[in-house]
Amino acid sequence: MDEKQARLTIEQLRSELERHNYLYYVLDRPEVSDAVYDGLMRRLQELEALYPQLVTPDSPTQRVGGAPLSSFAPVRHRTPMMSLANVFNNGELQAFHQRVCRALGTSTVEYVAEVKIDGLGVSLTYEAGILTRAATRGDGEVGEDVTANIRTIRSVPLRLRFPITCEVRGEVFMRKAEFARLNASREESGEPVFANPRNASAGSLRQLNPQVTASRPLDIFLYHLGFLAENTLPDVLSLPTTHWQALTFLREIGLPVNKHSRLCSDMTEVETFCKHWQEQRNTLDFEIDGAVIKVNDLAAHETLGMTAKSPRWATAFKFPAQQATSVIRRIHVNVGRTGAVTPLAEFDPVQLAGTTVSRASLHNEQYIKQKDIRIGDTVVVQKAGDIIPEVVEILPHLRPPDSQPFVMPAHCPACGTELAHLDAEVVLRCVNRACPAQVVEGIVHFASRDAMDIAGLGPAVAQQLVDAGLVHNPADLYQLSSEQLVKLERMGEKSAQNLVQAINDSKTRGLARLLYGLGIRHVGEGTARDLAEYFRSVDKLSEATLDDLLAVPDVGLNTAESVRQYFTRPENLALIRRLRELGVVLEMEEKLELGQALAGKRFVVTGTLEQFSRKEAEEAIRAQGGAVSGSVSRNTDYVVAGEKPGSKLTKAQSLGITILNEDEFRRLLQSGRSDDE
């Protein structure tokens, strides 16, 4: 291939990748599987490596690059990024409405209501459709230049669908599940945990090294068109005259916009919107702290103007914080699979974010000392990111007079080994790799749904297997017999046979799941997939140098060093050898790419399926181009219902959505057509 052919192919690949990004992040309607997308990206990377003179700043391969910054340059905003005034109840909301009506000389006003994402405000500038600058809100007048870091966020288009010049504003945030995984990884590594997704987002975006930002799971929604050069507007687009049109405009030019918004004809509809999301906020996979109410007519914005601090045409309806008070009855320590010893507080059960919680991690000894947490203390408890229970503060005036500070144990409660701080970590660790508590946690992780997915092998069974001396590492699982298992407590003959079968079935889960299941430090589910795709076998991965590992997209120095260290330990190499001897697949299976028969179709999987795990069913849908959602809406095409489907099935029936049982689902996967078509 000569340079001319390479240039044409590169342009085609970039265009195709940009189209798939738009389908995925903006329309939420992916047409290809992750494997297909990754294949296109790898081909582009290979061609750009051969022809570096053809690399451009807006190429999808250039999201992470450049040396760490020494500081952030100041950026003066074209127009101020003002904060919103807050209202806290319907009475204050009505007062806002009356002020708007008086200023506009009318009794009827159309509004747009949007959920208020709890993240970090940013502005993005595009010139001729190319992202040229990104800045934080700062003090509203002057922010910080975070262009290099914003470029690492996959949902931010480096090039718009049209060559227009504009400035847009939005919110950088972190989804709840990603926040939980990030904090779990940091805690395991002995790093300080983030208090909530907003802090995690802000800390990640303000990293001086863009590669650190790239390793964090940031996302973005845009919600405001701040400036538009009308002479760059193409004929196919119209200049927005309302905020509702502006949101549509942002989507049309390729920017991700939150779909949870509503055009409201009056304040009654606004109040209904606020009430709905105050009650349903926990159903979203990102954190919100209220709703934003904006006058729809953009000309009215000019009439209403600004106060010294905020616009008069918008307000924020703030939801009450979800906190509760309880009394700590006990503090004990838990030993994790990497030896990290974590103190846990047990308190009187309270309702938080829709669930009952009775314990929370206290992270480490330093955390306990800083907050001076003691047994018997009355504490304020909340769910960080509406997911992870945490102790926010103590109420010292309610402390019992005989309370004593908590002291971390000097020895591991599971094996008696002296605990130590490694590499100046805050966290205490048990350094005995044969510690039974670590072995149990390692087996539970290996068998978990996202790893080897061994049904029936939960914490209680894992504990019994280790206590009985039957299992010392994951390879031992593949030599268990039903005769051995039936001797365990509450393990009948049928259950024993099922568990043996589940263990045997897990041999073919694939390399990515195995790598995740091995529990290599810093290797989460996504990184395991990346390593499997790149190296294709455990043998090649085990022989990889540090430079080889750093060549894998999104693998940083800490992860690379951890992987390299894992494969230098004799006991780990022995484990790999035994797994191979016992028939566990240690290579990527070469598969023909499936068709895209389900492209454009949206699925929700609910209930328990007999022949699929939930994850397997969702992967099968994505492999054929379908999209998977966690909630049922009018946009859902099919609901796959197993045993005990719950409220999702009821909602699907009320909306007239096609319901598939497991047999119908299998036939759909095979043919691409449901029985009703």
Domain identity same for 277 and 354: no
Task: Give the H or E element holding residue 172.
Answer: strand 166-174
- Residue 287 CA to residue 174 CA, distance in Å, equals 8
**Both tokens of residue 547?**
């430079």
Confidence of residue 140 (pLDDT cuts 50, 70, 90): confident
CB burial readout 484-497, b (16+ within 10 A) else e: bbeebeebeeebbe
> Is residue 435 within 8 Å of residue 425, measured between CB atoms?
no
- One DSSP character per residue, 509-546 reads S-HHHHHHHTT-TT--HHHHHHHHHHH-BHHHHHT--H
Domain identity same for 162 and 265: yes
Domain identity same for 304 and 168: yes
Give the pLDDT of residue 622.
Answer: 75
State mean pLDDT over 324-334.
Answer: 92
- What's 339's domain CATH number? 2.40.50.140
pTM, whole model, 2 decimals? 0.55
Query: What residues make up the domain containing 615?
Result: 602-671
Domain identity same for 334 and 359: yes
Task: Give the H or E element holding residue 96.
Answer: helix 90-104
pLDDT digits (tens, 9 = 90+) for 506-517: 999 999 999 999
Q: Is residue 110 part of a domain?
A: yes
- Residue 84 CA to residue 298 CA, distance in Å, equals 17
Domain identity same for 549 and 570: yes
Domain identity same for 345 and 301: no
Domain identity same for 620 and 502: no
Confidence of residue 65 (pLDDT cuts 50, 70, 90): low
Q: Is the pLDDT of residue 67 over 60?
A: no
176-188 and 197-205 helices, crossing angle to 10°: 70
Question: Catalytic annotation on 275?
Answer: no
Domain identity same for 460 and 543: yes
Domain boundary among 318, 350, 384: 318
Catalytic option among 4, 116, 591, 615: 116
> Is residue 110 within 8 Å of residue 294, measured between CB atoms?
no
- Neighbouring residues of 677: CB distance < 8 A, sequence distance ≥ 6: none
- One DSSP character per residue, 575-603 reads HHHHHHHTT---B----PPP--TTTT-EE
> How far apart are the two ends of the chain, measured CA to CA in Å?
45
Domain identity same for 257 and 271: yes
Domain identity same for 451 and 560: yes
Q: Is residue 113 part of a domain?
A: yes
Q: Is residue 424 part of a domain?
A: no
Q: Which of 233-242, 422-431, 441-450, 496-505 has the lowest mean pLDDT?
A: 422-431
- What's 15's domain CATH number? 1.10.287.610
Between 461 and 28, the more confident residue is 461
Give the pLDDT of residue 110.
Answer: 97
Q: Is the pLDDT of residue 591 over 80?
A: no
Q: Is residue 416 part of a domain?
A: no
Q: Is residue 487 part of a domain?
A: yes
Q: Is 611 exposed, middle or buried (0-12, 13-18, 19+ CB in 10 A)?
A: exposed
Q: Is 111 exposed, middle or buried (0-12, 13-18, 19+ CB in 10 A)?
A: buried
Q: Is residue 501 part of a domain?
A: yes
Strands ordered across the beta sheet of 261-264? 86-87, 314-318, 288-295, 111-117, 261-264
Q: Which of 272-281, 377-386, 451-460, 633-642 has the lowest mean pLDDT?
A: 377-386
Domain boundary among 318, 346, 361: 318
- What's 667's domain CATH number? 3.40.50.10190
Q: Is residue 422 part of a domain?
A: no
| Beta-carbon count within 10 A of 656 CB | 8
If one counts the domains in the chain, the total is: 5
Max Cα distance, the chain (Å): 84
- Residue 253 CA to residue 130 CA, distance in Å, equals 12
Domain identity same for 482 and 545: yes
* Planar angle of CA 461, 463, 468, nearest 5 degrees: 95
Domain boundary among 253, 287, 318: 318
Domain identity same for 340 and 442: no
Average pLDDT, the chain: 88
- Residue 414 CA to residue 401 CA, distance in Å, equals 32
Q: Is residue 9 part of a domain?
A: yes
- Residue 290 CA to residue 274 CA, distance in Å, equals 8
| Beta-carbon count within 10 A of 510 CB | 16
